[in-house]
Structure 1
Amino acid sequence: MQINRPPLQWLSVLMALMLSMMAQADDGLDSLEKRLKDMYPATRIERVQTSEIPALFEVTMGKNTAYTDVTGRYFIFGHLFDMKTQRDLTADRMEKQQRIDFGQLPLGDAIKTVRGKGERVLAVFSDPDCPYCKRLEAEIDKLSNVTIYTFPYPLEGLHPEAVDKSIAVWCAPDRARAWSDLLRSGKAPASRKCENPIQRNIQLAQRLGIQGTPTLVSADGRMLPGAAPGDRIEQWLAESRP
């Protein structure tokens, strides 16, 4: 059977048309983003992208996500669900947008603890006077084959002595032991002063949007707030995804 193939010039026209449509889509997104910023100057418009619904655009505003049409006048606040796959598409995208680049964390400003081979990695932002942080330490004891980087993150407004305790731990001869003794038994190390990263850690946590302690960060940048049980942490670590 003979198949009639389109002339090469038609293929060239089709390719040019597709490229033109892609460029127009990009221009449309750029134009809409500019329009939204002009219409709502007090709102931090961070990203505009197409959604799974034609003619509906997803707008990221800090930690908020909404949907709008090409005019930018009408907004829908809420989550978009794919009922066929039973997935919350909005939550998936928000979670990815809020991930932390683990590779950019200043691990030299953290207290390093290795359990077993230490093949998995985990960062923890923790306050020495936070009761939930003390509870988390007992749960972390249940983990194996993990390297833990603990960033002392004192919430001075809640715990006035936490900064001095964090500095004393950092300046102790064995930081990991001093931190463990402080959170597990309340045994504070002798007061010491030295070069320390405590203020840098506070600023780092604020930049990352970490507002409470404890907060765990996985190798793929996901965050888990609160004193989660050890089995929940294991499950969360196993959920690592790109």
Structure 2
Amino acid sequence: MLSSLISRASRTAAAVALGTLLSHAAFADEATIRKTLPERLPNLPPIDEVTKTPIPGLYEVRIGTEILYSDESGNHVLQGHLIDTKTRTSLTEARINKLTAIEFNQLPLKDAIVWKNGTGARKIAVFADPNCGYCKKFEQDLQKIKNVTVYTFLLPVLGGDSPQKSENIWCAKDQAKTWLSWMLENKTPPRYMGTCSTPIERNLELSRKYRINGTPAIIFTDGTRIPGAIDAERLEKQLVASAAATKPGLTTTPPATSN
């Protein structure tokens, strides 16, 4: 009995000791990486966080919302996507999405064009360029969704006359009608000849802050973001999932224009 207790206590002590050693080793590796990388890469911005990855000996180095990978000694650095081959997903992309997650109630909705179908009870935000073909396709699919309010942030990133079109749409007497007429019916927005203040520069800055690099970019009330257009079926499923995940009272919205 006594020998059994001693044996069990020994195993517990060994496990604790091993855990302590591993923890100290991890801290030592982090300290080494934090010291070595800035010394060898003088232009490297300050390191915010160093964490272990699922791969032994490989560490994630976070600089703001940028992700690098380093060995435990800081001798080698990798930049790119870390792929989980079992799930065929990018661990890097998942991490960046978490770092750049957008709280829906923090979006400056006053800077968006607003329209709704039905009750408008469900809500999404979309960053869109008026000359984006995928945005037009997505806008068509949006018309099939019931009881949704859509907040469109004009994001003229494609060049050409995208900035002018965005300004004409925003400055129109009926923003939502002008936007939908262009996106759904290809009716060119009338050129605005007066003086009008637009949120376009703020939208561009917002896109840089959240690393929105293309259009459309879709934001749901639970913070889920999807880059690129999706069809009506997938959109409906994500709206249901986001509504289930969103706590009551999370979002606040200004009055919307009925479609």
TM score, norm. by length of structure 1: 0.74
Q: Among the aligned pairs, what percent are the same residue? A: 35
**Which of 49, 60, 65 is equivalent to 2:51?**
49
1:200 is matched with 202
Where does 1:60-71 land on structure 2 (aligned, <5 Å)? Answer: 60=62, 65-71=67-73
The answer to whether residue 30 in structure 2 is matched with residue 29 in structure 1 is: yes
2:114 is matched with 112
2:171 is matched with 171
Show structure 1 runs of 5+ residues with no match. 5-14
Q: Using the alignment, how far apart are the partners of 1:40 and 1:81 within structure 2?
A: 29
Q: Is the 8 A contact 2:33 2:70 kept in 1?
A: no
Q: Using the alignment, how far apart are the partners of 2:160 and 2:89 within structure 1?
A: 40
Show structure 2 runs of 5+ residues with no match. 6-15, 247-259
The answer to whether residue 91 in structure 2 is matched with residue 79 in structure 1 is: no
**Which of 100, 105, 123 is equivalent to 2:125?**
123
- One-letter code aligned to 2:228: G
Report the secondary structure of 2:223's partner residue: coil
User: Structure 1 residues 184 and 89 mapped into 2: Cα distance closer, same or farther (>3 Å)?
Assistant: closer
Where does 1:91-102 land on structure 2 (aligned, <5 Å)? Answer: 91-102=93-104
Q: Is the 8 A contact 2:32 2:74 kept in 1?
A: no
Q: Is the 8 A contact 1:65 1:78 kept in 2?
A: no
User: Structure 1 residues 238 and 68 mapped into 2: Cα distance closer, same or farther (>3 Å)?
Assistant: farther
Q: Using the alignment, how far apart are the partners of 1:211 and 1:39 within structure 2?
A: 30
Q: Using the alignment, how far apart are the partners of 2:225 and 2:72 within structure 1?
A: 34
RMSD of the TM alignment (CA)?
Answer: 3.8
User: Structure 1 residues 75 and 31 mapped into 2: Cα distance closer, same or farther (>3 Å)?
Assistant: closer
User: Structure 1 residues 133 and 55 mapped into 2: Cα distance closer, same or farther (>3 Å)?
Assistant: closer
Q: Using the alignment, how far apart are the partners of 2:76 and 2:38 within structure 1?
A: 14
Q: Using the alignment, how far apart are the partners of 1:86 and 1:203 within structure 2?
A: 32
TM score, norm. by length of structure 2: 0.70
Q: Using the alignment, how far apart are the partners of 2:209 and 2:73 within structure 1?
A: 33
Report the secondary structure of 1:59's partner residue: strand
Runs (4+) of structure 1 moved beyond 6 Å? 18-24
- One-letter code aligned to 2:182: L
Where does 1:89-238 land on structure 2 (aligned, <5 Å)? Answer: 89-155=91-157, 158-160=159-161, 162-185=162-185, 186-189=187-190, 191=192, 192-238=194-240
